[in-house]
Amino acid sequence: MIKLHDLYFKPFISEQEVDDIVQKMVDEIAADLGDVVPVFVGILNGSFMFTSDFVKKYPKPCEVTFIKLASYEGLKSTEDIQRLIGITQDLTGRTVVILEDIIDSGKTLAEVYRIFKNEKVKELKIATLFFKPEAYKKDFKLHYVGREIPNKFIVGYGLDYDGLGREYPEVFQLKTTQHMTNIVLFGPPGAGKGTQANFLKEKYNLVHISTGDVFRFNIKNETALGMLAKSYMDKGDLVPDKVTIDMLNAEVEKNADANGFIFDGFPRTNAQAESLDNLMNSKDSQINAMIALEVDDEILVQRLLERGKTSGRPDDADEGIIRNRIKEYYDKTAILKDYYSAQGKYYGVDGVGSIEEITQRLSGVIDTL
CB atoms within 10 A of CB 216: 19
Query: Is residue 216 annotated as part of the catalytic site, yes or no?
Result: no
In terms of Cα–Cα distance, which of 307, 329, 331, 327 is closest to 317?
A: 307
Candidate list 42, 46, 189, 308; residue touching ligand AMP; CB under 6 A: 189
Query: Is residue 193 annotated as part of the catalytic site, yes or no?
Result: yes
Q: Least distance (Å) from ligand AMP to the CB of residue 332?
A: 9
Q: How far, CA to CA in Å, does 123 sit from each of 27, 113, 144, 274? A: 19, 12, 14, 50
Q: Least distance (Å) from ligand AMP to the CB of residue 364?
A: 24
DSSP letter for 367, please.
H
**Angstrom distance (rounded) from CA 336 to CA 276:** 12
Output 123 or 246, the one with its CB closest to ligand AMP.
246
**Angstrom distance (rounded) from CA 274 to CA 339:** 9
Q: Rule CB under 6 A: say whether 188 interacts with ligand AMP.
A: no
Measure CA 132 to chain center: 19
Output 128 or 210, the one with its CB closest to ligand AMP.
210
Q: Are the C-beta atoms of residues 243 and 296 closer than 8 Å to each other?
A: no
Output 49 or 219, the one with its CB closest to ligand AMP.
219
The one catalytic residue in 193, 201, 216, 303 is 193
Query: Is residue 283 annotated as part of the catalytic site, yes or no?
Result: no
Name residues whose C-beta falls within 8 Å of residue 61's C-beta, 6 or more positions apart in sequence. 37
The one catalytic residue in 307, 327, 337, 361 is 307
Ramachandran sector of residue 245 (left: φ over 0; alpha: ψ -120 to 50; beta: rest): alpha
Q: Are the C-beta atoms of residues 87 and 98 closer than 8 Å to each other?
A: no
Q: Least distance (Å) from ligand AMP to the CB of residue 66?
A: 55
Query: Is residue 307 annotated as part of the catalytic site, yes or no?
Result: yes
Residue 227: strand, helix, or coil: helix
Output 208 or 268, the one with its CB closest to ligand AMP.
268
The one catalytic residue in 107, 230, 313, 337 is 313
Contacts to ligand AMP from residues 227-246, by CB under 6 A: 232-233, 236-239, 244
Q: Rule CB under 6 A: say whether 272 interacts with ligand AMP.
A: yes
Q: Rule CB under 6 A: say whether 275 interacts with ligand AMP.
A: no
Output 304 or 349, the one with its CB closest to ligand AMP.
304
* Beta-bridge partners for 210: 264
**How many residues of this chain bind ligand AMP (CB under 6 A)?**
17
CB atoms within 10 A of CB 288: 16
Q: How far, CA to CA in Å, does 98 sit from each of 14, 29, 41, 62, 141? A: 24, 12, 5, 13, 12
Nearest residue relative to ligand AMP (C-beta): 212
Write each residue from 132 to 171 as x if it is in contact with ligand AMP (CB under 6 A), else as -, in one continuous string: ----------------------------------------
Q: Least distance (Å) from ligand AMP to the CB of residue 268?
A: 4
Cis peptide bond N-terminal to 45, omega within 30: yes
Q: What positions carry a catalytic annotation?
A: 193, 268, 307, 313, 325
Q: Residues in the site for ligand AMP, rule: CB under 6 A?
A: 189, 211-212, 215, 232-233, 236-239, 244, 265-266, 268, 272, 315, 325
